[in-house]
A and B are shown apart, each in its own frame.
Chain A
Amino acid sequence: MKNIWLLAQITCKEGLRNRALLGILFFAVLLCVVNLIFTNMFAYDLGKVAVDVGLSVVSISGLAIIFFMGINLMAKDLDKRTIYMILSRPISRWQYIVGKFFGLGFLVLISVIILGLFAAGSVKFIMLTAPNYIPPDFSWATFLIALIYIFLSLLIVTSIALLFISATSSSFLAMIITSGSYFIGQNVEIVRKMYCQAEDDSGNEVSKQLVEIISWIFPNLAIFDLKTTAAYGLPLITSELLWHMLYGISYIGMILIIAIVIFQRRELT
């Protein structure tokens, strides 16, 4: 555990000092401004729009951190051979992957906390200035749970990014494949439902099977999206939340195991 913690620490420090924190704070300020301007364009449901926009920005900036910094941090290890500095110590390759995951995870957590606070601040401001538009069942607890689930979905994307960077030697390729996986993950459930509900199943059994297989391979990221629930103050089902969390954690675990297996075999020339 000590080695994993050490690796997570230096990864997080390197990321934070790499102007990431500055970027996060810039995003946070921008978020407040955008949220206030954007929300005021609406004549009604200001509170709902503010919550929706706030949570969306947290999610998008988390993705930006993974794509533009997380992937680069690990790719740099392999391209510039900074990995030699790490693996010439009594550190095994699985500890390297897990340590990197936690390091990047901390970075994402910090960004979610900072942006989440700013998002909450902008929502509170809208609610104070337009009290008539507060959703009747709005709850800060649901807002917090939505943030936690955004964080969980970002951790899934981080693990996927680690998998692809372990398997390929190009950070660009890893970024493309990871963003593709994110896109599929966001939409796979909708597509699967469309196929399942289609009355006319005369045609494509093969496509149905394909969609079914894809839905098993790619993560169903849509289930972690609680923006609408938070914005409208809809009730949450505890058992469903717990199952989704278990699914997310298991998926991360499986992806990390595959990444470790691939990375163990990789030659660091």
Chain B
Amino acid sequence: MPMPIRIANLSKYYKKGLKAKKRVIEDLNLEIKQGEVFGFLGPNGAGKSTVIKILLDFIRPDSGAVTIKELPVNEPMVRKFIGYLPENPFFYDHLTAEETLKFGGRAANMEKGVLEERIDQLLTRLNLFHVKKQPIRTYSKGMVQRLGLALALIHEPEICILDEPMSGLDPLGRRLVADLILDMRKMGKTVFFSSHILSDIESLCDRIGILNEGKLLFCGLLEDFVEESKGLEAAFIKIIETDRKAKE
């Protein structure tokens, strides 16, 4: 079975001024296995979103190889396997949720009948069915976030890449998203998500990766990481501080 996500020796630099370059990702190696929920953790500016954007081919790596199901990410057809939720999803304000999801489904080659059924099912699940014919500009932030999730899942992707899926959600919305992620795991789908909310990572993930200043500090089972410390938060702070001290 092809590896859902494989990142090998990935490095990325951003231009800083005319000539200077800032390293954002340093020689990152990561493999996400079929059916696992992988939590991608790191402080602000660690490079989590950069990695996700490289996976979606929004930005290009300076070196290394990134594949989805063993296919290079710059191949557009790869994205039919992926459901993506950006950190702050934005949509066309004057379109409705139904029209937006129809676009997403049709672009992923879904059949009309199946798509319409799936739209109603997803919108009901995410408490958006009552506003499906309303323009998105009338939605609250939480509703937009949930619509983003609906768009990510509309074509029943094998791999879900979620960038801060809980941001902007109230506790009920977070519960809803967490349940969806657990459902995906039950269905054997692969979920790769970044989050700042450690309790969500703790309750949802099989494995985690900790990134700091573009460098992967830990990758493995959640139990292995928290074993010696008093919970995920303490272990997370400890590993980041140790890394910072080592660099000083």
Measured CB to CB, the residues of A under 8 A from B are 2-3, 6, 9-10, 13-14, 17-18, 80-82, 84-92, 95, 267-269
| B95 & A90 in contact (Cβ 8 Å cutoff) | no
Chain A residues with CB below 8 A from B79, complex form = 87-91
Size class of the B contact interface (CB-based, 8 Å): 20 to 34
Return the contact of B107 from the options A6, A14, A17, A18 (Cβ within 8 A): A6
| A269 & B59 in contact (Cβ 8 Å cutoff) | yes
Q: Within the assembled complex, what's the spacing in Å between the Cα atoms of A85 and B147? A: 11
**Given A6-B103, A86-B107, A88-B56: 4 more A-B contacts, CB < 8 Å:** A6-B106, A85-B151, A269-B14, A269-B58
| A267 & B95 in contact (Cβ 8 Å cutoff) | no
| A89 & B60 in contact (Cβ 8 Å cutoff) | no
What is the distance, in angstroms, from A210's C-beta to the closest C-beta of chain B?
A: 30
What is the distance, in angstroms, from B90's C-beta to the closest C-beta of chain A?
A: 4
What is the distance, in angstroms, from A216's C-beta to the closest C-beta of chain B?
A: 32
Q: A6-B106, A13-B99, A267-B59 are in contact. Are A82 and B77 (CB under 8 A)?
A: no
| B135 & A84 in contact (Cβ 8 Å cutoff) | no
Return the contact of B95 from the options A3, A10, A88 (Cβ within 8 A): A10
What is the distance, in angstroms, from B145's C-beta to the closest C-beta of chain A?
A: 13
Chain A residues with CB below 8 A from B100, complex form = 85
| B99 & A268 in contact (Cβ 8 Å cutoff) | no
| A90 & B108 in contact (Cβ 8 Å cutoff) | yes
Q: Within the assembled complex, what's the spacing in Å between the Cα atoms of A92 and B88? A: 22
Which residues of B from 68 to 126 have beta carbons under 8 Å from A? 76-80, 82, 84, 86, 88-95, 99-100, 103-104, 106-109
B141 within 8 Å of A by Cβ?
no
| B107 & A3 in contact (Cβ 8 Å cutoff) | yes
Most chain B CB within a 10 A radius of its CB, from A17, A80, A88, A92: A88
B174 within 8 Å of A by Cβ?
no
